Chain A
Amino acid sequence: MIALEPSIKNRPEFINVRVRRQDAPGQKSYWELHKIKYEREMNVISVLQRIAAQATTVDGKKVSPIAWDCGCLEEVCGACTMVINGRVRQSCSALVDRLLVENSDEIVLEPMSKFPVLRDLMVDRTRLFKGLERVKGWVPVDSYYNLGPGERISRDDQERNYPLSQCMSCGCCLEACPQYTKIELTREEGESQEAFEARKKAAYEEAFVGPHAISQAMLFNNHPTGKALAAERLDALTGPGGIAACGNAQNCVAVCPKEIPLTTSIARAGRATTLHAIKKWFDR
């Protein structure tokens, strides 16, 4: 069923998989080589499943299964992001036949570098979700009671909003963004869990919010009720770590698996924050 890549003449009997592992946060990472039988129609998920079942390296050493995150396996949940052959992407839609065209010797799997590693290919993406809170990515409805329909929305607005609303918080754009740099804090001796969480939150709020959150701000500012918070969202994007931190590298839009027009959102946010600043200046 899968359209096989015609360029693979001789299908290999085995696939070499090189994995960058790390046992726990703050520890040194190391490489491990696994070898599994080639099967038709594999993706990186099924490769990792085979490795988990076999739990033995190429040298016959018993090892613990590799930790990784996954969910839907059809590229709508955003869980299984990792760096595969040097490029950030979802492991479910990374098909082995295509990877072998990129590199016929081996498949190289690494965790994302912009988030703290929890273990192996699992990273902590809390900061990504905190970004959504920073821009108040929601519609401030009065209540969840039945109060009749929402406002009528033109097909044009729906067609502008729907692509933005497909962002699955996978983090590919953040991995590719030169301005989004890793923040990894460790709990200090005697520091309470609450104090540690507060310190992390403060650090996240100083740093670049990221293209995904800017795009969500634009989504909700284009919603008839969502607009009510437009000024607060623009304030958030005007402050430190807001729109000014974007270096316009445009990597985000290139790696987004959902092809969300992130740079269009960023440009709109740029204009909107400028107008907002001028307006505020006149309103003083």
Chain B
Amino acid sequence: MAASTQPARVVVIGGGLAGLASAMKLAELGSKVDLISLTPVKRSHSVCAQGGINSCNDQTRQLGDDEWKHLDDTVYGGDFLNHQPPVKEMAFWAPKVIELMDRLGVPFNRTGEGFIDRRRFGGTLYKRTAFAGATTGQQLLYALDEQVRRQEAAGAINKFEFWDFLGLVQDETGRCRGAVAQNMNTMEIRSFPADAVVVATGGCGLIYGRSTMSVFCTGSAASRCFQVGAKYANAEFIQVHPTAIPGADKLRLMSESARGEGGRVWVPRTPQDSRAPRDIPEADRYYFLEERYPEYGNLVPRDIATREIFDICVNEGLSVEDDRMCVYLDLTHIERSELDRKLGGILEIYEKFQGVDPRDEPMKIFPAVHYSMGGLWADYVKSADGGLEPGAPRNHMTSIEGLYAIGECDYHYHGANRLGANSLLSCIFSGLFTGSSIVNYAASQSSGAADVPQSLLDAAVKAQQERHDHLLNGNKDSNENPYLIHQELGDIMTRVATVVRKNDQLREAITKVDELHERAMRVNLADTGAWTNQNVIFAKALQDMFPIAKALLRGALQRDECRGAHFKPEFIKPPLTSDDPAERRRQAEAWCDAFQENNEKYLKSTIATWNSGSNQPELTYEDVDTSLIPPRPRLYGLVGAEAIEEVWNERAAALAANNQTSKPYAGSH
């Protein structure tokens, strides 16, 4: 039947902020939703987000802020690799998203007068960030979880929790007609026919072994789409968060809000000073972020803070401890009651896991893998005003027709580096915004969920059953252990593909990861049972980490530049050296020439396509839509920034004069 005569049937995979926002909105629009999640949705990784959610607001507006500046900060922080129409749409939706979440009961911190309180986050000079203590992600997720429970009680949503998404159902044209998933207790594999499928399965931090991500953030769901034809974009852009608590099982996030509320990062000027931190006088402390970046101080964008902390420990040898790298993140100068009210949640985490009260003693922190800016490639339809066309079926549709990607597992919003407190926004926004697009797509199809041939569904289930059975019984003579292979993969990825990237190391890693992939395909499982077999579920996830890891390494190798989180010292653009004004001007001109030339080559999205014959990704490059805000050099703290900015602004002004249609908008920083 034509889907327009009956409610759309949509499968949403993943129950974090994006998936829940999507399910809830689709239910409101009259769709029937099957929501598939590895874990009870209330336990999704969004709970770990701490600091807050951004929007310009009544206070910042009166200081000169507006949605365009939110857009500008986001794309400047992202080194212009973000697609600007979706970011613009998001920035304009942001105040509405926060108002909706407020209505849904999120206990945002309040001012004395009862308004939503705001704090400052990295990469902006405005206090845009609304927050609920230091567990904002948890609070936003719970509000959506509650609405989904309400819709479930009303019969609009059917939850399938502890179900593992295994693959898509595609017809002969390649169109996505549903999904196949497995019950993680009974191990039953079944199909879910649909008019459209939405993947909202988050990031892939587990590829690095330990990260700030939850145990289910393996990237395997995105990989399963990638391996059957969905394009994967910007895999090499992985955010390493500057401040995490090192741990044996996990690197626990210490939110940027600690710095937003006044936390200061420092090391003793004397390497491994043996005095207790409080006994080290101001003069002997090196507040290196504040000294190196006087304007933004401790709130420089994350990629920069991460590199500086890494540099202080690795190159300057100023780590607080000698056998392990860490720096101080100090809150001890702030009133205890203030800390409890605004940061309680994260300070408790530090106290519980480290046994030290961070209100009395500075925390010891180090960077950790945190967020995937890249993800499944997805389309959008640009509107006349430069944003997105509401309701256009192609918004967020992947390269597989009928398959949508939203949230952390899409790739548009954060470019080469995500600003803090923009991820919660992009997740909820993309979930809400795409509801009408999906419903319209379903309505436009002449053959819908009810018309999927049984043979197609059976074949998709059979393929997954065969993979499952082979894993249980196919490698009896092998002694490959999935947990050990995972450790090896994590070690390699952490060593070569985090803060600093070098081509020789990347090449070597590609060879090693190829070998590991082959070994992972013949793991022999300790558990061959047919009930709650976590061993086989993990083995599948492990195998599916490799296509993403390979796209990531290959993308990093081929990108010979520094952009946002992707940093290759070999291709650094040098600071200006001359003090002579004329020579300095000449250097600045040359710097800008080199910058433009580099942009022509590398200001592109990396697009990976999986070749299942060679078991390798194939890369192509695609232009980025920078039509709203012309790219400009990202100059936080660079020596000679003023001279470069002057040259750049002149060029931008000349260009704007020639081209009346484009808004210059250069040099606001």
Contact = CB atoms under 8 A, between A and B. Distances in A.
A139 B146 contact: yes
Contacts of A132: 146, 149
A53 interface: yes
A43 B352 CA distance: 11
Nearest to B532: A119
B354 A2 contact: yes
Interface stretch (A9-17, A149-157, A236-244, A275-283): A149-157
Interface in B80-118: 96, 99-100, 102-105, 107-116
A172 to B, nearest CB: 15
A72 interface: yes
Interface string A1-22: 1110000000000000000000
Interface string A41-82: 111011001001101000000111101011111111111000
A139 B534 CA distance: 36
B349 A74 contact: yes
9 contacts: A1-B321, A53-B481, A76-B48, A77-B45, A132-B146, A146-B100, A165-B139, A169-B42, A225-B103
Would you list the 6 A-B pairs with minimal beta carbon distance, nearest first? A3-B355, A64-B527, A138-B146, A119-B532, A55-B526, A152-B114
A20 to B, nearest CB: 15
A139 B111 CA distance: 22
A79 to B, nearest CB: 5
Given A71-B216, A95-B353, A46 B111 contact: no
B81 to A, nearest CB: 29
A153 B99 contact: no
Contacts of A2: 353-355
Interface residues of A, number: 72
Nearest to A97: B355
A144 B532 contact: no
Contacts of A152: 113-115
A24 to B, nearest CB: 5
Interface in A129-145: 129, 132-133, 136-141, 143-144
B138 A166 contact: yes
B354 A72 contact: no
Nearest to B432: A144
A248 interface: no
B13 to A, nearest CB: 17
Given A65-B526, A138-B146, A154 B114 contact: yes
A162 interface: yes
B185 interface: yes
Contact of A39 (B135, B248, B528): B248
A143 B28 contact: yes
A122 interface: yes
A220 B245 CA distance: 35
A129 B532 CA distance: 21
B116 to A, nearest CB: 8
A63 to B, nearest CB: 7
A90 to B, nearest CB: 9
Nearest to B133: A162
A139 to B, nearest CB: 4
A72 B45 contact: yes
A67 B135 CA distance: 29
B47 A76 contact: yes
Interface in B488-528: 526-528
Nearest to B320: A1
A165 B107 contact: yes
Contacts of B321: 1
Given A144-B28, A144-B432, A162-B107, A168 B47 contact: yes
A161 B531 contact: no
A23 interface: yes
B146 A161 contact: no
B253 A74 contact: yes
Contacts of B100: 144, 146
Interface residues of B, number: 78
A263 interface: no
A146 B135 contact: no
Among A40, A154, A165, which residue has the most Cβ atoms of chain B within 10 A? Answer: A165
Nearest to B113: A152
Contact of B43 (A42, A78, A136, A225): A78
Contacts of A202: none
B185 A118 contact: yes
A133 B349 contact: no
A68 B41 CA distance: 17
A148 interface: yes
Interface string B540-576: 0000000000000000000000000000000000000
Nearest to A166: B135
A35 to B, nearest CB: 17
B445 to A, nearest CB: 25
Given A53-B483, A76-B48, A137 B247 contact: no
A147 B39 contact: no
A158 B47 contact: no
A168 B48 CA distance: 12
Interface of B: 24-25, 28, 39-40, 42-45, 47-48, 96, 99-100, 102-105, 107-116, 132-133, 135, 138-139, 142-143, 146-147, 149-150, 152-153, 185, 214-216, 245-250, 252-253, 321, 324, 326, 341, 345, 349, 352-356, 364, 432, 481, 483-484, 526-529, 531-535
Main secondary structure of the interface of A (DSSP, over half): loop
A96 to B, nearest CB: 10
A24 B531 CA distance: 7
Given A158-B107, A162-B107, 10 more contacts: A40-B248, A62-B526, A64-B533, A71-B43, A77-B42, A136-B150, A146-B99, A149-B103, A150-B103, A166-B345
B105 to A, nearest CB: 4
Contact of B483 (A45, A52, A162): A52
Contact of B214 (A67, A72, A133, A165): A72
The residue among B111, B250, B529 with the most chain A CB atoms within 10 A of its own CB is B250
Contact of A119 (B215, B345, B531): B531
The listed residue with most A CB atoms (<10 A of its CB), out of B108, B249, B527, is: B249
A2 to B, nearest CB: 6
Which of B153, B531, B533 has the most CB atoms of chain A within a 10 A radius of its CB?
A: B531
A281 to B, nearest CB: 29
Contacts of A118: 185, 532
Given A53-B484, A133-B153, A71 B103 contact: no
A178 interface: no
B115 to A, nearest CB: 7
B47 A65 contact: no
A125 B135 CA distance: 23
B526 A79 contact: no
Contact of B104 (A79, A137, A139, A158): A139
A43 B484 CA distance: 19
Nearest to A120: B532
B215 A70 contact: yes
A64 B536 CA distance: 11
Most A CB within 10 A of own CB, among B111, B114, B245, B484: B114
Given A70-B215, A129-B40, A144-B25, A3 B107 contact: no
Nearest to B363: A1
Given A64-B527, A64-B529, A148-B99, A1 B45 contact: no
A1 B246 contact: yes
B353 A93 contact: yes
Contacts of B146: 132, 137-139
B48 A72 contact: yes
A67 B39 contact: no
B3 to A, nearest CB: 22
Contacts of B110: 153-155, 158
Contacts of B139: 162, 165
Given A46-B249, A122-B532, A141 B103 contact: yes
B143 to A, nearest CB: 8
